[in-house]
């Protein structure tokens, strides 16, 4: 009897373990009758607008589009896996979806390095929208992510990107020798300005890294001056962002996506495209609020002179070439960005 009890206990433990690991690496989501349940891990936690603004709006849009037949349970970064492991975990079906970054997804999908475009090409989130939805960047990325068993749901707009530092940027020489937290293609950008990019620091670690002097600044979304309290540790913010917006991406395990009825997939895609400008509007409001808050807190908002701005633009073009040379898949995506730019400029 004792042996039978131990065998039964072991089987029970194994069953729980397999369930918690995402259906043995082939997740299509759990179900409760007609309701499908997905787990979503965000790469940024409370206080960051990705958690506070974008994620709730996206989740609500998807659940409303499916009449509640698809429900998404959200998890903070690290709750299921480390943020940088999220793309691979989604690919393997450990959980159904994530809000990740090009810096992390680029490890397994090189084309991701084109997601944030070319520094100084996009000036706002809706220009980015045009490139994705009207010029084909979204379709191209979906094809590339598909190779890694991931469905690329959408680029999720964020607030404007800005260089936030403990030192004033009066010329391109100001950046030389400085350590700047930057990820993905922006790491190249910092290096081309003569700085030292630091990519190992997560979004949630930026505050402490600047406070402790681990880095001298960061390229991050403007609203985090208030939301994440960065105005407490930085003294200067450049007015011109190196891109129209910082981006996160919404990615889904391909098996989980394909397990959905085709009509539901169509409804979700329509909902994601519709919610993009709605999220953008909220991001702009957050940026404006953060800028006022930062000024009131003593942060100085700087504007680059023409000579320095030109040097930054040259660094952006050099960045695009380096990314393209090292990642042929990203090169094709960047060509789409250039096509959009030629049509508008």
| CA distance readout (Å), 124 to 12, 206, 219 | 53, 24, 16
- Phi, psi angles (nearest 5°) of residue 155: -80, 130
* pLDDT in single tens digits along all 345 residues of the chain: 434 434 444 344 334 333 344 444 455 677 666 899 999 999 999 988 899 999 999 999 999 999 999 999 999 999 999 999 999 999 999 999 999 998 899 999 999 999 988 887 888 899 999 999 999 999 999 999 999 999 999 999 988 888 999 999 999 899 999 999 998 778 889 999 999 999 889 888 999 999 999 999 999 888 889 988 999 999 999 977 766 677 799 999 999 999 999 999 999 999 999 999 999 999 899 889 999 999 999 999 999 898 998 888 889 889 989 989 999 999 999 999 999 999 987
Residue that is written with structure tokens 């037949």 in the block: 69
Rg (CA), the chain: 21
CA dihedral 74, 80, 86, 88 (to 10 degrees): -130
Tokens of 36: 């499908």
pLDDT at 202: 84
pLDDT value at residue 222? 85
- How far apart are alpha carbons 52 and 205 in whole angstroms? 17
> Which structure tokens are listed for 10?
């072991």
Q: Given this model, what pLDDT does residue 250 score?
A: 98
pLDDT at residue 298, as a whole number: 96
Q: Give the three-state DSSP class for 256.
A: helix
Give me the residues paired with residue 247 across strands.
157
DSSP state, residue 200: S
Strands 35-42 and 30-32: antiparallel
Phi, psi of 59 (to 5 degrees): -60, -45
- Across the beta sheet with 196-198, the strand order is 196-198, 179-181, 217-221, 161-165, 236-238, 300-302
Spatial CA neighbour of 139 closest among 234, 303, 210, 131: 131
Q: What is the pLDDT of residue 120?
A: 76
């Amino acid at each position: 009897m004792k042996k039978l009890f131990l065998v039964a206990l072991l089987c029970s433990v194994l069953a729980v373990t397999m369930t918690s690991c995402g259906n043995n690496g082939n997740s299509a989501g759990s179900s409760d009758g007609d309701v499908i349940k997905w787990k979503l891990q965000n790469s940024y936690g409370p206080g960051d607008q990705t958690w506070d603004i974008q994620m709730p709006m996206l989740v609500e849009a998807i659940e409303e589009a499916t009449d509640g037949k698809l429900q998404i349970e959200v998890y903070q970064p690290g709750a299921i896996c480390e943020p940088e492991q999220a793309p691979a975990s989604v690919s393997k079906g450990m959980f159904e979806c994530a809000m990740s970054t090009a810096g992390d997804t680029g490890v397994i999908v090189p084309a991701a390095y084109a997601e944030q475009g070319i520094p100084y090409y996009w000036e706002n989130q809706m220009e980015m929208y045009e490139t994705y939805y009207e010029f084909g960047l979204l379709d191209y990325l979906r094809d590339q992510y598909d190779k890694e068993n991931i469905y690329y749901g959408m680029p999720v707009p964020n607030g404007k990107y800005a260089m936030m530092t403990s030192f004033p940027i009066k010329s391109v020489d100001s950046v030389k020798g400085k350590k700047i937290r930057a990820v993905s293609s922006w790491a190249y950008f910092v290096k081309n300005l003569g700085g030292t990019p630091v990519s190992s620091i997560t979004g949630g670690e930026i505050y402490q890294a600047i406070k402790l002097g681990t880095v001298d600044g960061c390229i991050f979304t403007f609203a985090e001056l208030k939301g994440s309290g960065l105005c407490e540790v930085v003294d200067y913010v450049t007015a011109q962002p190196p891109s129209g917006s910082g981006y996160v991406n919404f990615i889904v395990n391909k098996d989980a996506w394909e397990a959905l009825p085709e009509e539901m997939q169509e409804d979700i895609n329509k909902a994601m495209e519709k919610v993009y400008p709605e999220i953008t509007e909220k991001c702009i409001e957050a940026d404006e609020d953060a800028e006022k808050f930062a000024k009131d807190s003593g942060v100085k908002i700087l504007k680059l002179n023409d000579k320095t701005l030109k040097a930054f633009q040259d660094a952006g073009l050099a960045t695009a070439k380096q990314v393209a040379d090292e990642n042929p898949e990203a090169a094709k995506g960047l060509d789409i960005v250039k096509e959009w730019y030629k049509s508008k400029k």
